[in-house]
Structure 1
Amino acid sequence: MSTENDGPSSKCEYAPYTQGSAFTYLNINQSQDSTTYTLTVNGDTTINGNNYRKLGDDSVFMCSGCTDGTYTQVASLLSFDGYTASDLRITYLKDFLPLGSTWSDTINVTNNGISTTAYLQYTITEKGTSRVVNGIAFTDVIAVQMDASASVLSSTMPIGTLSTSYYARGVGLIEADQAQDTTRLIKYNIK
């Protein structure tokens, strides 16, 4: 059995992205406008020597990977409160860490044409809980809060909480709450 940070080896059960699996989400913004989309796992890719599963549809595309309970994602765009980042790699979950644990990522962002460094801090706010999403009860859920700050004139300024995401064992992302919208899983089919 391998270990990482003194944690037991993980089977990466919080992202069961097997070929052909599909996850349908409903996104509702502050104006109560809604969009439904389905992310389908369609193959593998290698980026900078790391292996990822490709997930997407006609409008959304991302790559997700997991090694020993550390889940990473390569996304095409992140935006919040005037800050944007493109082609970024983030570590969105470490399923072996206990409740209250934190980790961070450093990314490059742009705000009004000015590039700077931003810091993403993740905190496990729930672990082993249950959550009902769109009438479906999920167990063994991990919640991760993502907060951001940016380097401005040699100081680090808080940007705020970007999201709280909920991951269920055997399913993956079931809900993501952000200031501007909420995304919830409607249905899924794991192959």
Structure 2
Amino acid sequence: MENRYFLIAILAAATLLFSCSKEMSREGDGTLPPTSTCDYAPYTNHSSFSYMNVNSAKDTIKYTFTVSGDTTINGNVYKIVGNDSVFTCSNCKDGIYTQVASILTFQGYSADDLRLTYLKDNVAAGTTWRDTITVNNGGASTSGILEFTVTQKDVTKTVNGKDYAQVIAVRMDAYALVLNNPVAVGTISTSYYGKGIGLIEADQLHDTTTILSYTLQP
């Protein structure tokens, strides 16, 4: 049971990262999805995105992520997005946005190369997909499932007094695998992505992250 609660913490921490991966979750009935230009991750070199995080105690942290260039993982090229404290990156192909958290740790537990498919911009509201992750503590491993659901599509959302159009909302629910059976942990976050911008808001149980400003470079 202790492993389950550490897994919850790992999953919660994962929602703060926007990074990269070559792996994809798959679902569907065999029909081809609409064409996508990956406008929900416009991470051109030297573009920057400033955010504010406010927790339930009203503590506030402001930070800026900058796109600093490219990195290659297993032969695939990804954009590096981050600051001096956090290494992140981003990849999108055919409307499927993937991410990896490099060495995510919490109280002795770690998840190396945590690969997630965090957004699909070419599917309808109500679409769901899953990723399986594993966290380790010494020789002990704990597995879990992240389930992503598009809850809203092409809506307008107001963040810090500014309206953002063509927003996609994605809810992330977590399940711990106990004796190979999924046990619901609950909703970890709901994230909102604006077209031509990327992440504009992420709501978690005890804190909310919102975009303050952004600068896109050609």
What TM-score comes out, normalization by structure 1 length?
0.90
What per-residue deviation string (whole Å, max 9, x for no partner) do you get for residues 15-44 of structure 1? 100000000000111221111110000101
Counterpart of 1:43 in 2: which secondary structure? strand
1:106 aligns with 2:165: no
User: CA shift at 1:109, angstroms?
Assistant: 2.1
What per-residue deviation string (whole Å, max 9, x for no partner) do you get for residues 146-174 of structure 1? 01101112321111111100001011100
Give me the whole-angstrom Cα distance separating, in 1, the residues matched to 2:113 and 2:179. 24
Counterpart of 2:214 in 1: which secondary structure? strand
User: CA shift at 1:83, angstroms?
Assistant: 7.5
Instruction: Give the structure 2 partner of residue 13 of structure 1.
Output: 39
What per-residue deviation string (whole Å, max 9, x for no partner) do you get for residues 96-130 of structure 1? 00010011111102479841211111000000100
The one of 31, 40, 56 aligned to 2:82: 56
1:189 aligns with 2:212: no
What percent of counterpart residues are identical? 55
Instruction: Give the structure 2 partner of residue 167 of structure 1.
Output: 193
- CA 1:152/1:113 → structure 2, altered by over 3 Å: closer, same or farther? farther
Instruction: Give the structure 1 partner of residue 206 of structure 2.
Output: 180
Number of corresponding residues: 187
Instruction: Give the structure 2 partner of residue 26 of structure 1.
Output: 52
Stretches of structure 1 lacking an aligned partner (at least 5 in a row): none
What per-residue deviation string (whole Å, max 9, x for no partner) do you get for residues 54-77 of structure 1? 001011221110001000112236
Counterpart of 1:9 in 2: which secondary structure? coil
- CA 1:122/1:58 → structure 2, altered by over 3 Å: closer, same or farther? same
Instruction: Give the structure 1 partner of residue 177 of structure 2.
Output: 151
RMSD: 2.2
Give me the whole-angstrom Cα distance separating, in 2, the residues matched to 1:56 and 1:5. 36
Instruction: Give the structure 2 partner of residue 76 of structure 1.
Output: 102
1:125 aligns with 2:151: yes
Stretches of structure 2 lacking an aligned partner (at least 5 in a row): 1-29
- CA 1:55/1:148 → structure 2, altered by over 3 Å: closer, same or farther? same
User: CA shift at 1:48, angstroms?
Assistant: 2.1
Deviates more, 1:146-155 or 1:22-31: 146-155
- CA 1:24/1:182 → structure 2, altered by over 3 Å: closer, same or farther? same
What TM-score comes out, normalization by structure 2 length?
0.79
Give me the whole-angstrom Cα distance separating, in 2, the residues matched to 1:62 and 1:141. 22
